[in-house]
Chain A
Amino acid sequence: MWKRSHSVALGLLAGLSLLLLSLPEELAARFKVAFGALYLPLLGLAGAAHQAAQETAGLMVSRRELLRQNEQLRRENAQLRLETLQAAEWARENARLRRLLGWQEQSPWRDRLRLARVTLREPTPWWRSFTIDLGSRQGVRTGLPVLTPEGLVGRTSEVGPFHARVVLVGDANCRVSAQVLNVTGDTGLIGPAGPLDRDLVLLSYLPRTAVVRPGQAVVTSGLGGIFPKGIPIGTVVDVRPAGDGLYLEARVQLAAPLHVLEEVWVLWP
């Protein structure tokens, strides 16, 4: 039986929802963070369980396996040190040439990376995002690039004290200006591909005359002010004309496996 109190409750709830939906973006984000704090105990519990599971798994690895991994890591380390030496030489040469040409020196971003653990993934199918265990207390703010050694992951948004949401490449809220590593260095805009194509994104607004071929690498162009130039995004899968032939559109296979990531790097400003 419908009562007057039900009408009042219905009005209140509908009004509350509409009020929340019409809140300014910053205020709405704060409200979300505050309500999400209800999940902090569960997040702590999940983090502890994850750590315990890792420690248990570590205890169960045999000595022989550990020695083998140790040897492999030693070799990798030696190789990386050699590559670092070579990269340092290139960096010096780059800086010298920049000085000669009168260009502004760019600070290397490899020293500004900070590791974060992925704590929660997006529960709805219409967004691409996850939550990391770094927040404003650690200095995270909105719009910081997030990456892995394989390539670009996304950027931070909705930052709480202990957690931050990362909007992934392929979400409509994370458009990235990208450049194809071909002869002409054509640039376009990375956007979402489709709800089921989790490892694919669309590179749109490529010039009609662009010579883009499958297998070519795509990196960040540095335009837009959020992502530094040269972070790998993926490789071109196929190209087709779009917008009634006004521009080209390429499907790009992402370099970073976004749906299985457990740890990512946040790039500090």
Chain B
Amino acid sequence: MLRSLQIVATLVLAWLAVFLQAAWDGFRPILGVQPDLLPALMVHTALRTHLVNVFLLAALGGLAMDSLSANPVGVTSLPLLALGLVLHMRKELVLRDQPFAQAVLGALAGAAVPTLTVGLLLSLGHEPLVGWGSLWQGAVLAVWGAAVTPLVFRLFGALEHWFGPAPAGPGSFRPDREIRRGRV
């Protein structure tokens, strides 16, 4: 139940985040680039949930992004999937409960997903706007990823806390009241 809720919440959040990215100008006039929440969501999904969720987020999040942007349809799913797979395969080696580790992974994901997407676009023969300014945009997206990934972990932690089963209490067993049978 909680697992289904988690993936539903992830997908709804991805759907809304992509819409907000397109509908609200946000930081674009100041930073020159619109922050992206999908890499941070993918880091959380890959480290905390099942591989199926990674597939779902890569497919639906990527398609949502491509449907609202001028990207060719399907181009965002592959970088997201690559990121999710690598993180999921190595999740036992990552200190995923540490906010610092989350921030570092968020920064790497924030820079890696757009880089892979642009690489894919170039290899497909498209002409995305790329130049020295892209380095600045990549840096901004990395910083954004580092800032927002620990928050995503916190948000889903809180969700788990609210909707998950309550932890078992100490119970009524008391060792000092135990009746010992047999010879002492």
Contacts and interface: CB of A to CB of B under 8 A. Distances in A.
B73 A195 contact: no
- Interface residue SS majority, chain B: helix
A167 B66 CA distance: 15
Contact of A125 (B22, B114, B124): B114
Interface string B104-139: 000000000010011001001011111111101100
Given A21-B124, A123-B34, A35 B73 contact: yes
A88 to B, nearest CB: 40
Contacts of B63: 35
Interface stretch (B40-48, B51-59, B163-171): B51-59
A123 B22 contact: yes
Contact of B15 (A2, A38, A46, A192): A38
Contacts, number: 149
Contacts of A127: 69-71, 128-129
B136 A196 contact: yes
B53 to A, nearest CB: 11
Given A127-B128, A172-B128, A39 B68 contact: yes
Given A14-B81, A121-B22, A125-B137, A192 B129 contact: yes
Interface stretch (B1-9, B25-33, B149-157, B176-184): B25-33
- Interface residue SS majority, chain A: mixed
Contact of B85 (A10, A31, A126, A198): A10
Given A10-B55, A123-B36, A125-B32, A20 B74 contact: yes
Task: Identify which of B23, B36, B136 gathers the most chain A CB atoms within 10 Å of its CB.
Answer: B23
A259 interface: yes
A172 B128 CA distance: 7
Nearest to B132: A194
B75 interface: yes
A20 B131 contact: no
A149 to B, nearest CB: 22
Contact of A126 (B15, B58, B73, B129): B129
A28 B124 CA distance: 14
Contacts of B75: 17, 21
A173 B125 CA distance: 12
B73 A38 contact: no
B169 to A, nearest CB: 32
A196 B68 contact: no
